Structure 1
Amino acid sequence: MKRTALTQKLLVLGVDGMDPRVSQKFLKEGKMPNLKKLIERGSAREDLRQIGAIPTITPPCWTTLATGAYPGTHGITCYWRQSPESLDAVVYNMDSRNCSAEQVWNITSAADLKTLVWHWPGSSWPPTSHSENLSVVDGTQPGSVNMGIAQLDWEKVIVASPEIEEVRYAPRVDKPAGVGCIITDLEGTLDDEVDDEMMELWWGDTARQGGEIRTYVMDDDDTEVVIGSKVAYDIVNSPLKEAKGWKNAPEGAKDFTIITSGGVMRRPALILKNEAGEYDRVAIYKNKKADEPIVILEKDKMVTGIIDDVTKKDVTKPACRSMKILELDPQGTKVRLWISNALDISNDQLWHQKSLYKDIVENVGHVPPVSLIGGEDDELVREIFEPSWAIYNKWQADSLNYCINEKKYDVIFSHLHNVDCAGHQLWHLAKTLQPWDYTDEKIYQEFIEKFYIQTDDYIGEFLHLLDEGWTVLLVSDHGLIVGENVPPILGEYGGLNTKVMEELGYTVLKKDKDGNSTREVDWEKTRAVQIRSNYIYINLKGRDKYGIVDPKDKYDLEEQIISDLYNYRDDRTGKRVVGICLRNKDAVLIGTHGPECGDLFFSIEEKYNRLHGDSLSTSEGYFDTSVSPIFVAAGSGIKSGFTTERIIRQVDVAPSVSVLLGLRFPEQCEGAPIYQIFSEDI
């Protein structure tokens, strides 16, 4: 059936983690003027909300937005995929070949619309269409473009002072308060091999190669918010002394040493005086005989696009970094410097077509690294983490506008991860809770505001399209809550959650000689396990490797587990912590059914959620936050200044894209067009 297109140009502006409830808060305070303009020129619900797919995790929700199908149908049912071999392990999941539903961009490209899919996590890479009209950039992880494939070296803080006697290097030090200090206890870490395990697990090749990942979440210290808010960085201590042996050291300059590449490469640096005789700049050189520095850094200014050689596993490649002076004493007694992770500038592996990468680099610039450190150290959040994302946002906006203006794309599906990345590091600190009562919630509430303001700036980069015949859809996968309480060990999406299931007697861990639980399941005694965000699996005979539950007893055991979960109480508050619990056959009601989902689906009760992944999308939290995703539409084919009462669901976005462009729906689509907001009847 042919339809008349309501627009010829369409941009899906995806912002991971953008919450309509907290957006409204900042809108009312006048802090998001560009979002206000988008709403005034388009259509949305009064609460700006859509109903998100379940589970409320990045890959399932973005895949639902792209296919119009629920997770039980498209098969991307959590951040990780359940291992087919083991009930206590997961495997990599952000692979389009795991998606069993048609993506709408395959339809647009087949219809001779030049289509770009930009860093859309979960179902875009590798490309699933051979159309010459389809371009795809990354999508193998949610962080930033190329982060998972091109990272060569980790972030580091350099501290130089006359008090330091020799150059010392400590890899991946977890010292939230150490950034301002001279570290005196480095001996135990010197010459250690850099531990890249976690970096490779979450962002690198290890996960993508398909092996099992086995993570046991046994207590609060194993949870993502605790680990993520204390991300380690390399520390370099260096003497700061009179410059000697230099070819062109200015008068009065002092030198120090920077160590990179896992400890194998050194770069000499100078602090320089201004005309008033105060030290205010840092110059970094390849060596002391170099005529020109690699970069000159000024105080209070982050610089990106710095190209230098980096060695990893005995291979040296040119890489892009960002850098910033954290502290420089005008009298020259101390300098602190941050250096970002390093991205291989030659790596175009996740760009289709590869020529697009070359065009972006030549016309916009190299992919700027984003910081992943900060968390509980508010100085690093303020000086490094937030500004690095502001730089990245501008680069991405410029890249997309270049693709629109110069490469003449007709349809773009884009994803930005700034809010979600910040949420996983910072949001839990925006309410004073006992494990983090040494932090100031007001400071972290201000950080939430800053990330929404920078997102508003990003939205503003595309408002010109409304005057150029484009349709713009602003969407997100989920929001992020500031938790009301410390959640129970249940629903952590990264692995096997043991504590509650142990207490209830369904999961049994092997014990050490002192009677303490180890990180190994006793399968001969374990009847059920809880793994990934919302799933419980029965250890079933004939299906699972170590199954002990007779299939005829499965239904009754599920009933017992459901009852026990509803009766389970948080030991800190005495209140129920499980919201809903359904058998797989009943979970079809909410789209979490089928072979890629567990035997039971559950959600955590409101006020006991962690950020988003264990929640229903209607959950709300402290500081006017929620798990709901946002939806606003404006431009050609959309009513202007219109508020709808229609309940909008994520499954409705793909068919709405199809109607706007006059195309068929994706084959497995389960949603319906949001026809109430269209400027013409359909």
Structure 2
Amino acid sequence: MMKKCLLLLSIAATTAGCQSGPDSKPAGPKVIVLGFDGLDYGLTKKLMDEGRMPNFSKLAKSGSFGPLETSVPPQSPVAWSDFMTGLDSGGHGIFDFLHRDADTMIPFSSTSRASDAGSTLTIGKYQFPLSGGTIELLRKGRAFWEVLENHGFQTTILRMPANFPPSGTASYELSGMGTTDITGSPGEFSFYTSKLFAFAGEDITGGDVYEVDIFDDVVEAKLYGPDNPFLVEREKLTSEFTVYLDPVDPVVKIVAGDQELMLEEGEFSDWVPVEFPMIPTQSLAGMTRFYLRSVRPDFELYASPVNFDPMAPAAPISTPDDYAAELAAATGRFYTQGMPEDTKVVDGGVLTVDEFLAQAEIAGREIREQYAYVLGQFDEGLLFYYTGNVDQVSHVMWKTLDPDHPNYDPETDPQYEDLIPSLYVGLDEMVGETLENMDEETMLIVMSDHGFASWRRSFHLNAWLKEKGYLTVKDPDMKTDPGLFVNVDWTQTQAYALGINGLYINLRGREQNGIVTEGERQALIDRICEDLLAEIDPVTETNAVTKAYKRDEYYQDRGEIEIGPDIIVGYAKGTRGAGASALGAVGKEVLTDNTEEWSGDHLMDHETVPGILLTSRVLKKSAPRLKDLAAAILAEFGIDEPINIKVKAKAKAKSIDE
């Protein structure tokens, strides 16, 4: 996993800020691209037909509207990398949220890699790095906006997923999905409570619960950061804060450093800047939002993941380096964490659905307010602006659209049945705002990376491999498999799964303990694909898997193909890979009902979850697939050249129809 002290030492130097380009730009086309993560074609069309998205309908009449074929697999970092580069995974090297180190079998983030500083000077308990740590963007290939910049067009790229740290090749950039919190994780919340044994026995992920004591109506607590890189013996950085409870009213005063704020029960704070002292002369800057859930009988306080402070970011999050501060100065501090909607608080019951929705609404409002400023500044070239708010809320709330979902609650869920449609309507208003503020010469493109579906059934891929004899465990009686392949007997395992859609052959000479020879590999792949496509879900009595993509046959681009899974599993619509299996656990059952709060998804057969493409004019160059869209955008600027050099290969996904 990403090393958590990476973000502290001279990291801003790892990306040279690209200035705003030549003093004189050529007069030419202007294009605005709105990237709406997870906007589903079917639901969008339904709402348009009902008259609830008039601005979408207006665009469709003047230009075009239709489904946009997504990536394989239809995961956001894969899909957006397809869009950026015009390459598939074989070329840009992003195959999943997670990849594995074949030498250690340890998973790591697919989009970026962090490294500590090199040599150090040790003095007593302190060590002083002689060079800075680094964060490396793992996506390969040239992004399409680099072509535009080379032709003299200014580009502004805000929150593009899989672009952390920023590429440095646009005039202006702000990183998005993939940007960590201050600890180097995707986002770790903190929850403080005076209740004894709170959440005992619960599987809390995505954060930590801390029991605190109350003395004379005062709570002393800490926020936790990454390891202190200046200490020889590693120790977590901390930032202390104090909470003063009103003895009568449900209100508190929080003091964090030189910041003081009052909070009432049920209220979120504004952003609170905090500092984590490292050595007497240096501190790490961050910021958090507090939410006061309860004062009594039990004290309960939520703190968001500690985000990079855009006014003083401890990691490279923008191009130029001070662009994040410019945005914050214009519209206020904002979530720099790549996926700000804190879905994990619902999974463990730390916050209620309504509390999660309130937090997600704050994150979405920040995006909208910042867009108004950015749109007002835009006067040339390309503007790309992304929001993932609908995607993240849909993951949690999709069951409210599906009364047949195993986790649907007929008592509480009907009140939310219009929640997701109302978010779509909000995006329609964002399009309307754009139309009001752009001239007739500007081209507007609205697109999404994939669609959405109800996630009713979970497919435990490693359990299936065990059942079919492709994987062997050390202890068949292990009650709870912690994952990371600790229970896998590699000496008798031919294949294993990591990530939601990835299946790997345990190949000799590639995997740490590989047993399958290169000569045996293809026949084994063929046999596994046939078995996957023959698997019938006993509950639905339909195929559990409808596509089995053979890596070497499906992907057209070859430069990075060797790091990918040997097989990409396309689950049937309504079925998704189980999260435990994705992290290397081997479960007892192959197919189970999904009873998690995370009720909607898209990591399925890519043909079942298309995104959308909506344009104010008919494109000069057609873009039926997500990976075609970058070239179509270049064509709007009169540019006809390859974004990246491609190596072709035959392409065919084996499906149940064959």
1:510 Cα deviation (Å)? Answer: 1.3
1:475 Cα deviation (Å)? Answer: 1.3
Contact 1:51 1:618 survives alignment (8 Å)? yes
1:19 Cα deviation (Å)? Answer: 1.2
- Following the alignment from structure 1 to structure 2, what is the Cα–Cα distance between the partners of residues 18 and 27? 13
- Following the alignment from structure 1 to structure 2, what is the Cα–Cα distance between the partners of residues 454 and 539? 47
The residue correspondences of 1:528-547 to structure 2 (distance < 5 A) are 528-547=495-514
Partner of 2:362: 391
- Following the alignment from structure 2 to structure 1, what is the Cα–Cα distance between the partners of residues 558 and 48? 33
- Following the alignment from structure 1 to structure 2, what is the Cα–Cα distance between the partners of residues 267 and 296? 12
- Following the alignment from structure 2 to structure 1, what is the Cα–Cα distance between the partners of residues 381 and 283? 39
Partner of 1:66: 84
3-state secondary structure, aligned to 2:270: strand
1:544 Cα deviation (Å)? Answer: 3.5
TM-score, with structure 1 as normaliser: 0.69
- Superposed CA deviations along residues 154-173 of structure 1, whole A, max 9, x for unmatched, are 545566xxxxxxxx4xxxxx
The residue correspondences of 1:285-324 to structure 2 (distance < 5 A) are 285=255, 294-297=260-263, 302-309=268-275, 317=284, 319-324=286-291
The residue correspondences of 1:67-466 to structure 2 (distance < 5 A) are 67-85=85-103, 88-95=105-112, 98-123=138-163, 125-127=165-167, 129=169, 134-139=171-176, 141-142=177-178, 147=181, 155-156=189-190, 168=194, 183-185=195-197, 231-232=206-207, 234=209, 239=214, 255-257=217-219, 259-262=221-224, 265-271=240-246, 279=249, 282-285=252-255, 294-297=260-263, 302-309=268-275, 317=284, 319-326=286-293, 338-345=302-309, 346-347=312-313, 349-350=315-316, 351-368=318-335, 370-372=340-342, 373-375=344-346, 380=351, 382-406=353-377, 410-427=381-398, 431=402, 436=407, 440-443=412-415, 445-466=417-438
Identical residues among aligned pairs (%): 18
- Superposed CA deviations along residues 292-347 of structure 1, whole A, max 9, x for unmatched, are x722345765442333455689985554333445467xxx9787654433324221
Contact 2:267 2:292 survives alignment (8 Å)? yes
Larger gyration radius, structure 1 or structure 2 = 1
- Following the alignment from structure 1 to structure 2, what is the Cα–Cα distance between the partners of residues 371 and 24? 26
Q: Quick check: 1:562 aligned with 2:529?
A: yes
Contact 1:578 1:602 survives alignment (8 Å)? yes
- Following the alignment from structure 2 to structure 1, what is the Cα–Cα distance between the partners of residues 45 and 27? 29
The equivalent position to 1:552 in structure 2, one of 519, 533, 548, is: 519
Instruction: Classify 1:670/1:9 alpha carbon distance in 2 versus 1 (closer, same or farther; 3 Å).
Output: farther
Partner of 1:14: 35
1:486 Cα deviation (Å)? Answer: 1.6
Of the structure 1 ranges 552-561 and 500-509, higher mean CA displacement relative to structure 2 is found in: 552-561
The equivalent position to 1:628 in structure 2, one of 567, 587, 610, is: 610
3-state secondary structure, aligned to 2:333: coil
- Superposed CA deviations along residues 478-523 of structure 1, whole A, max 9, x for unmatched, are 122112x322113xxxxxxx10100000011211787997733212
Instruction: Classify 1:300/1:614 alpha carbon distance in 2 versus 1 (closer, same or farther; 3 Å).
Output: closer
Give the partner amino acid of 1:11: I
> What do you get for the CA RMSD once the two structures are aligned?
4.3
Specify every segment of 5 or more residues in structure 1 that has no aligned partner in the other structure, as ranges: 160-167, 169-182, 190-220, 222-226, 242-254, 274-278, 491-497, 620-626, 672-682
Contact 1:231 1:375 survives alignment (8 Å)? no
Contact 1:320 1:344 survives alignment (8 Å)? yes
1:663 Cα deviation (Å)? Answer: 1.9
Specify every segment of 5 or more residues in structure 2 that has no aligned partner in the other structure, as ranges: 1-25, 113-135, 225-237, 578-599, 648-658
- Following the alignment from structure 1 to structure 2, what is the Cα–Cα distance between the partners of residues 558 and 150? 36
Partner of 1:504: 468
Of the structure 1 ranges 510-519 and 401-410, higher mean CA displacement relative to structure 2 is found in: 510-519
TM-score, with structure 2 as normaliser: 0.71
- Following the alignment from structure 1 to structure 2, what is the Cα–Cα distance between the partners of residues 73 and 609? 25
Partner of 1:519: 486
- Following the alignment from structure 1 to structure 2, what is the Cα–Cα distance between the partners of residues 234 and 308? 20
